[in-house]
Amino acid sequence: MNIGFIGLGIMGAPMALHLVHAGHTLFVHTRGQVPESVAASSATPCADAAEVTRRSEVVFTMVPDTPDVEAVLFGENGVAAGLGGGARKIVVDMSSISPMATKAFAARINAAGADYIDAPVSGGEVGAKAASLTIMCGGDEAVFETIRPLLEKMGKNITLVGGNGDGQTTKVANQIIVALNIAAVGEALLFASKAGADPAKVRQALMGGFASSRILEVHGERMIKRTFAPGFRIRLHQKDLNLALQGARELGVSLPQTANAAQLMQACAANGLADLDHSALVKALELMAHHEVAAG
């Protein structure tokens, strides 16, 4: 197929390359310079999103936030400008953005004569490189089945949750769970370390019990080894938790633990740590305790 991919960041670049390696013809556009790995492939760089769309049957977008998606879709020389004429195209947004905005974007794309699927992902840079992402989709079932083979080149756990916006709702729920788990692991390891126990051995012991989790396995190790190079940045997780809290206000529900995790991430950001991996949330706890998990 002729496929477009817009947004070649930490996750977008490896995701796009999986499609190239599967034999598809790829047309790409990104803010800034095309990554060397993509430039060295058979992918064709395009001047703007409209050109990508005109040359593609399916267009993927993978950008940071709701305003970025809106600009890519409906800004000057955006995706919408490349729609119309010929076969009906499919637009697939894999960014993590507002569910309510997604519903509005889908309606506008539909009105322009194309189909729309929201397909946010979980798994971070590691999952993007390994093609093992969890992909949460919202949209028409027939359209979803059309693009499923493409999604299977990028992920393993692929679910159509419901209509447009439901994929993004699922991603927000995912980010709530991940944030709260990171905070829980951070508090547990900090407590153990401050009490004089070896946090690495505490983590090892916990991995064999009911407290075991993927967060304890991966991010617990990051906290102990102090390896906070970004796989998923704090600033992006902050954005997702803000979406959760905004949605909670609109729905009239309380998410107290989500609000607490958001404040811990804000404390990290206030101390210049927003571009570290979200496992560095533990640093906010460490600042309050005057103690590092790895210490002692």
Residues recognised as catalytic: 171
Question: Which residues partner with 48 through β-bridges?
Answer: none
In terms of Cβ atoms closer than 10 Å to its own Cβ (0-12, 13-18, 19+), residue 213 is middle
In the numeric block, which tokens belong to residue 80? 């919408």
How crowded is residue 212: how many other Cβ atoms within 10 Å of its Cβ?
Answer: 12
Torsion of CA 81, 85, 90, 92, to 10 degrees: -10
Decide: 36 and 16 in contact? Cβ < 8 Å.
Answer: no
Please list the alpha-helical segments (H only) found in the chain: 12-21, 36-39, 49-54, 66-74, 99-111, 124-130, 141-151, 166-194, 199-206, 214-225, 234-251, 256-270, 282-289
Question: Which residues partner with 4 through β-bridges?
Answer: 27, 59
Q: Measured between alpha carbons, how far is 173 from 112 in angstroms, rounded to an integer?
A: 30
Largest Cα–Cα separation, the chain: 68
**Dihedral angle sign, alpha carbons of residues 38, 44, 50, 56:** negative
How crowded is residue 158: how many other Cβ atoms within 10 Å of its Cβ?
Answer: 18
Q: Measured between alpha carbons, how far is 108 from 100 in angstroms, rounded to an integer?
A: 13
From the centroid of its chain, how far is CA 275?
15
